[in-house]
Each structure stands twice: as structure tokens, then as C-alpha cells.
A and B are shown apart, each in its own frame.
Chain A
Amino acid sequence: MKIQQLVCLLCLFPLFLSAEGKKNGGSLSGFVYDAENGEGLIGANVYLQDHAAGTSTNHNGYFVIPDLQPGEYKLMCQYIGYQSYTRMINITDRRDLRLNIMMQPRFLSSETITVEADSMDTADRLYRQSISQIALAPSDIRQMPQVAETDLLRSLQTLPGILPVSDYSSQLYVRGGTPDQNLYLIDGADVYNPEHFFGLFSTFNTDAIKNVEISKGGFGAAYGGRLSSILDVTNLDGNRNEFEGSAALSLLSAKTTIQMPIGQFGSISASIRRTYFDKTIAPYIDEVPDYHFYDGHIKAFFDINSKNNLTVSTYYSKDDLNYQFNQDNDDSESIAYRWGNQTLSLRWTHIFTPRMFSNFWVTGSYFFSDFNFELVEEKNNITDITVKGQFEYAVERNLQLAFGFENKNLQSGYDQFFPGGMVDVYKRRTHYIGYGSVNWQPTKPWQIKGGLRYNYFDSDETFSDWAPRFSTKYRLTKTISLKASLGAYHQYLHRIPRPFISDIWTTADRYHDDSRAYHYIIGVQKEVADNLELEIEAYHKEFRDIYSIKDYLLDIEPQRYDENGNPVYTETQGLFDRGDGKATGLELLLRKKHGSLTGWFSYALSRTSYTIEGINQNESFPPRHDRTSVANVVLTMDVRNAWRELFNVPYRTDGHQFYMGINMVYATGQPITLTSSTYYMSSLPDQNIEEMFLYPSTINSFRLPDYIRMDLSLRYKRLYPRWSWEVYLQIFNAGNRENIWFIQYENEQEENRVQQKVDTFNMFPLLPTLGININF
């Protein structure tokens, strides 16, 4: 059967299901919204008290509880940070009740409010959460002390199993994987190379974010295309009730976000951020290059009717560097480098029947980078046009189906002109995906989820793979859940990482197979005390056919030669070394989500090893991102309420808020290859300049000293009835510890004697940042 026919069949399948079959009573369905701004709430807990019936809202805020016998029920809804919702409902015979739930946030305004315990049952929430999945609220991210300003990816680096490779990079290394193995989604659209400032910051503007979920492994059949993680970012739909805005100024950038209703049927949100030191510092200091970045996002939500809504979301980012080497010389050579992302996603949400929920997307993603210097001219881009559909069908109260399709059209282009040759690689690839999964609750404590994902990747060769997924949960006691998951994952994209310049993406082809990973995860989650959650997970991950760029590109065969005999490269042959790998680890996360002291403690014990053909005599070695132990403490203290708590005064919020934040990181030192010896010779016989050269030891056989860092933040927030302002001071690496990134070797020559010196290149020193935020 042709792949297109299979996709058509998948599209038609929902129509059969939507023609309601067996019906065992009525159903309750609807959306859960924030009453203040009308945003749909993801993962809200909806259940009928005293009945074994409950569910949680999906990514659109939709829920359905099917098969309800006629009668009166007490409906409860809980969501973290919101007051409990309770209402009596009446189900009549075989009638479907549609009910939208409006949840009131706990903190409304500057009025003094005494706050009671949070409404959400921690143990229930933990049980509903998928294995290895962590959700971060934008407020968690904003409270965390960081470099210059809030950054989403740097925040995620504080979670167990997610690592940076250095202070200078926001990239994520998840459970032994490399950054190319992470799928970044903004409102359903893939984002390639989400980096600003040469990788120092990520492209996600945290003021525009509504919800962040990262899945570190074991993800279900709905997700794929990457081996290690899925970062799913949902931006704000916009306030459906009133105009709302925020503005912020940090040492790095200025930014603003606005949200407003569009009549009675929708909302819009928009945000923009721009750095400004090209206007403030660069004109006065020659050494500072003319550099800036900006990003912007617009999202509109249209509530067409009770069964249909539409979301249009677009994102644009650009980094722009111009550096003229000799400012006094009009003929001066310069470097010009521009790169950025553009995404557009159109999502149509359709409710076929209360049991049959669907989303359809058309998404586009474009990454570009242009580099120009005297010797080298380079254009690097990737375009991804995707059509996808996702269906959820509640067969019975204890049986749900999810299935969908995806068609991804990729175009990647890379042109480089360099002295003595050129690279001209242009590829078009098509990826068809179909998946289905069954979520079955055979008895109350058990939940079993099985899924299958089919990939058909059309390159200059075709790849066709089945990827099974399985997960299960068992509620051992009211407060303890056991979870397990395993699955096979395929990745058809390979990446050429580059220093301080955007990565190049290539695909599986006749020279390179697809990469595969197999995840095996077990975990236990427990509510250890009131509002204190503990998660422990152990994992083992096997990598097959992972590709790393060759250390030296000596054997790339040109496909042809130009008229001057210069090589022209149009294929990826000879670029990569093939390898396998494995990662094993144990992770612990102790987290407190509300109260005067919030935050988490995380610890990860892990071991990663790669075996790359042609490296280390084909023996395994630890990659640079391997860390034996990593511990993070992220704490935010609401100082005034902490003081009240000391004297048993009830927790409350009022017009003055004062927060202190700490982020403490400990990590075993990175593996490093040291110099085993030095030797003396000249590179070319006629030049008669003898130099010292380094001869390395066995790859990554030594460890740098342990990495330790503490960041601090102080925030004061003043709330008025219609607006608020906040000032903050953040100190990155408050102890100014000199953590080593790598080792530098220098030769000092006197007469006939050479002294070789070893010096270190360190991570960031103490970096203070000031900023102000205004909300209106």
C-alpha cells in the first residue's frame, strides 16, 4: 500500500469512530479555563467526587468523562495555583453534558488575601504525569537566577538528567544524548537551532510562554523524530477578557508582551524582545562588534463555535553581527553573520463528538544562517513544512485511543565558497508518520499504555521503521505510584555541530543510516509530605548508529571538480564517524511547588559511553557531557511569608512581595583529554620554525575538577490594583568560583630553552544583572 493511501486511511478513520457506536450512558466534557484571562489550562484534574471517574485536561484544556449513568454528581476540578472548583451536575439518560470550567487563580490582585493550601492533590497529579516528564510553569523559570536574563533552556539544565556542556552554551544534553537529539516545538512547529548570541541564550522568550513540558525519555507514540527528549512549548493564547501587558528591561535586552481579546470570539498575544548594546556600548568601544538579536511572536486564538477553534501562531528571530576589523580603514575586511528562525503554525481544533477530540496542524519552520568573510561565504538553511493530525477518542471510561498522522517535508541547503573549492548540498526529504496508542485502565490502580509509531522516510534511500512504545503505571498506595516505560526511537536527522556558529542539519541517506535509541525506564513517585513530591527514576538507554562529525575532514570525496580543478562537494559522504552508545542513570527529584519556600532538589547519578568507529581504537570512551554525579538545589523564598510562617501566622499575599532565590549546582568534573607529551618540530621543512606541539593522552581519560556554582537572586514586587512592578538583582556564580572549562598550553622560549606552561580557561566569573519588570 502506498504511503499516501495509508495517510488518507488514517485521516478517514476518525469519521468512523465519530459515528457514535456503543454508548453506555452520558458524558461530561468541556474545557477548563483560567477565569482571569481565559487561557485553557493544561493538565487540570477533573473528577467526580465519590466516583471512580476522573481525567485531566489535554493540551487544549479539554476533558471528557464518558459512560456516566444518570444521576447527580459532585464535580471537582483542581489545578496548581488555583482555587478548587466544585459544582453539582446532573446527568440524564444518555445525554452529553458540555461544561466549561472557569478556575480562579489563588493570587488575584494587591488586596490582602489569606491563602489556604493549594487545591491540587499532589499524589493525583503525580500519578497522572507521564514518566520522565516534567512541567515547568513560566513563574518557576522567571524566579530562577540566571545569566543576564531568564532563559528557558538554562532553566531546564537544573533538572535531573539534563546537562549543559559549559556555561557558554544553553544547549541540552539529556540522559547521555546530544543536543541534536532534542525536539523543540513551539505551538506544534519544530524549531531548529534555537540559539541566540552564539548559543549563549535560547530563542524562547519566557514572557510569551504559557506552558513548558519536557519529556526526558519514554515518550509516547505521538512523539518521535528525536532520540532523547521532547520540549513542547505552548505560547500564550492571549487574554480573552481584557487588555494585559508586560514590559521588562534587563542588562541584555528590552522586551514587551501584550494580550487582548478579539471581540467575543478570540484573543491575541504578541511579544517582542531586542538586545540593545549595539546602540549603547558598541558605538563607543571599537572592540565590541555591532551585534544584536531580536525575536517576536504573535498568536491569535479564535473560538469559532463550541466544536471548533483556530489558533494561528508565528515566531520570528534573528541575530545580526557585523564586525569591521579595522575601524579606521574604509577598505577594511569585515565579518557579517546573520541567522534566525521563522515558524508559522495553524492549528484547527475540532470536537467531532464529546468523545472524539482532534487537532490538525499546518506548520512551517525555517532556519537560516548567512556567513561572510573574505575567505569564506556560507549559506545554511533548513525548511520544514508539516501537516499533522492528532485524535483522542474516549472509547470507555477506562479505555482511550489516541492516533494521528504527520507528513513532514524537509529541504536543507548548504552552500559554502572557500579558497580552493565549494560545497553545494541541497536535499529534499519527505517523512510520513502514522501512530496509534491505547490507554487502558484494567483495574483502578493499573494503567497500561501501548503504542506503535510507523516512520517512512524518503531520502535518496527509503527508510521504513516500526517503533513500539509501552508504559504502565501502578498506584501502590494513595501516595505512591510506580511507573515503567520502554520504547524504540528513530531519528532521521544528523547534525554537524560547529563552534559559535549555527549547526548544519543533514539527513539519513545512502551513506548514513537513521539513528536509533531504546529507552528502558522505571520510576517511583511519592507524595512524601503535604505538598512535597519525590520522584525517583532509573533508566538505561542504548544508542545505535549515532553519527559524530569526524575530527578531521580528510577523506571527503568531491563529487566533481570545477574548471580550475577545485573540488565541489554535493554529498555528505565522509562527514561522519558512525558509533553506538549507552547511558545508564538514576535520578531523584524532590519538589515543592507552593508555599513560602518553593523549588526543588535534584540529583542524578549517571554513566554515558560512546563507541565511535576510528576513535580510541574502537574502544568505548566517556563523551565530554558524561557526569557521574550532578546535584541541583533551586529554591525561591517568599521572604515575608516565610517570616510569617516562623511565627505560625497564616500565609497570605498582599501588595508587597519580596523573594530570594538560590540556584546551587554541583557536578562531577567533565572528562577531558590531557596532553600526554609535547614534541618539537617544524610543520614545513623549508620554514625552519620549530614549534612545540601537543600529543594527546587517551581520549577523555581524565576528569576536570568538580564544577560548583551558586547563583543568587533578590526580587521585590509591588502590586497595585491595575498594575505591578518588580525590580531584581541576579548574581550568577556568586562565589566567583573558577570552574575550569578547558586547558590551554603555552610555550615560553628563552634562548635554547623552552618552558611549557599549562593554564586554564574558565567558565563564567561572577556576573551580576539588574532588571525591572512592569505588568499592566
Chain B
Amino acid sequence: MSARTSVARRTLATPLILSALLIVFALLAWFVGSKPFNQTIIDIFLRVILVVGLYIFVGNSGVISFGHAGFTCLGAYAAAWLTMPPMMKQTLLPGLPEWLTALQLPYWAGAGLAALWAAVWAALFGKILMRLSGIAASIATFAMLAMINTIYSNWEDVTGATSSVVGIPIVRTVWPYLIAAILAVFIAWAHAISRAGLALRAARDEPTAASASGIDLPRERLIAFVVSGAVMGMGGALFAHSIGVVTPDTFYLGLTFITLSMLVVGGMGSLSGAVIGVLFLSVLIQALRWLEAGVTIGASKFALPNGVQEIALGVVMILILARRPSGLMGNKELGWRRAGSVAPDVSGQKQPDLSKGVSK
């Protein structure tokens, strides 16, 4: 017990520093006071939630999941079902059960239940999928994503099929998103230093030795899968509240790849990497978009051609991964001491390279 407390104290710096970083972004939005900039910061927080959610499973288990956008979809639609005005539900989603149509919760309660809903499905899917390892598991998670997407794109009465679901209350202040992002960071940290998290990371690096020591790999993976599914579900719900519209195609390949690449660029094996990856790439994307729109320097206006943003983003990501194959943070966490105190780290752990992340 005392050992656990000391692990917590030793590693508490990481979530605190990351939260401080997020608070700086929120304050920036507050100081600038521009609505589109505020929305940009909200977007960044949403991505932080999603990438941290992804990290909880991918980072700790080493199994790349292509399916987590599915949980975001589950969460977003659950939020729509729970928070839309009953009148709109009646016309847009006539297939919902009566008690659900009549229900209208505040957004935070909706987001909580959406997270729970996503977690329930993560548990059901995970029970089967977590028996698989390596690339087979990755492909199975992708199949899960395709299933969720197909069901939500076609179940007309309940999800509105491919039409946009509108009427979701829009929340435009930055604070709820900040709180949720900090919550996600702390959940990830708490899971990482828990028995399940430590066991899972041990199994990621040395599966044979880990199972010889009595670690039940499918069970530990399932725990991470459920926790990360819940965080993704919460992120999905908040996404729905950030723009007020949900459609199934929002939560498909595009979201899958952007969240995965942010995690990979930041460093798959590190919670700090997940957060820093999002912040770094989001700032880069935003700066490039800003340059595309044009900057006035003196008398002349300088603008990049449209589309440069996507190309430049790709080039930067290649450069980062060429120079630092294990991402910006590698396997390190931010800490008080220099050179990154080994936070929720298993001693003697090797730097995982990318190819290793997928294997086993």
C-alpha cells in the first residue's frame, strides 16, 4: 500500500504539469477573447481527450487500435439521445424508446452517461477482441469500427442514418472542455500507476515473462480497453456539444488517423507524449491554416496556397518520426526533475520503436 502511495507521489508531477499546460491554453483563449480562437482551443481539448483515451489502451498495451473512433461515435450519439429537446427527437429520431425521447439531461450528465455507454460496449467487444494479439487485434478493432459505423449510418429511426442529427445543445465556453481534458489526463495517469496498468505495460514489453509471473493478459487489456472506451465516449459526447451536429462519417477513418498520428508523433508510450503530440500538431495545423488565409506583413500580403497545410503537416510528421522514431517524448514523462523522471515507468524498459508497437 505504502509502495503504491509512493508511486503516486513520485509520478503526480506528470498529470499536474500536463494540466498546467492545458490551463495555459484555456487562459490564452480567455485572454484573446476571439470566438473562433476559443473554438480552436475547444477543438484542441477535444483532441487531447481523444488521444489520451487512445493512449490508455494503445500506449499501455502496445496494440494499435483502429477502432476507438467507434467509441467516440457511440458517445456522441448517446449525448444526442440524452440531451436533445424531446420535440426534435420525436421528428428526427422516431425509433427511440419513449422514456428516452422524453428524457432531457444537462450536457454534463449526458456526457457522463455517454462515457458509461461507450464503456459498456467496450467491455462487450473487448471480452472477445482482447484475446487477440498484435496485428490480428488491430484488424479486429478496425472491423469493430466498420461495424459501428455501418450500423449508425443505416439505422434510420434511431440514429438518423447518414443525415445530420441537430438540436444538441451547444456549449461554447472553454471550461467544461478543459475540465474534461484534465479529467482524462488524471484517469490515464491513475490507470497507468494502478496494478492493472503496470501489469499491462510489463506484458507489453515482455509478454512471456509477464504471463510467467501470473499476469492475465486478456484481463489487463480488457480493463485498459474499457477505461479508454469510456474516455473516448466522453470525448465524443463533448464533441457533439461543441458543434451541435453529429453524423456517423465524422467518427470514421479521418478521426482514426488524425488521433493515431498525434499519438505516434507525441510518443506512443507516454502520457505526456499523447498530450504534447496533440498540442504540437494542433498548433502547427492552426498556424498553417492561418498562413493559408494570409498574413499582412507591412504593405504586402503573404499567403500560402490552399492545401499546403495538409502537405506541410505530412512533411513535419515524417521529419519528426525520422529524427525521433519513438515520438517527441519517446518513453519519457514530464516531471519536476530534469531529464524526465521516469514516471509510470517500468524500470529497465527499452525505448519501444514503432515497429515494436504493432508486434506481438
Same complex for A and B? Answer no
Q: Which residues of B contact A (CB under 8 A)?
A: none
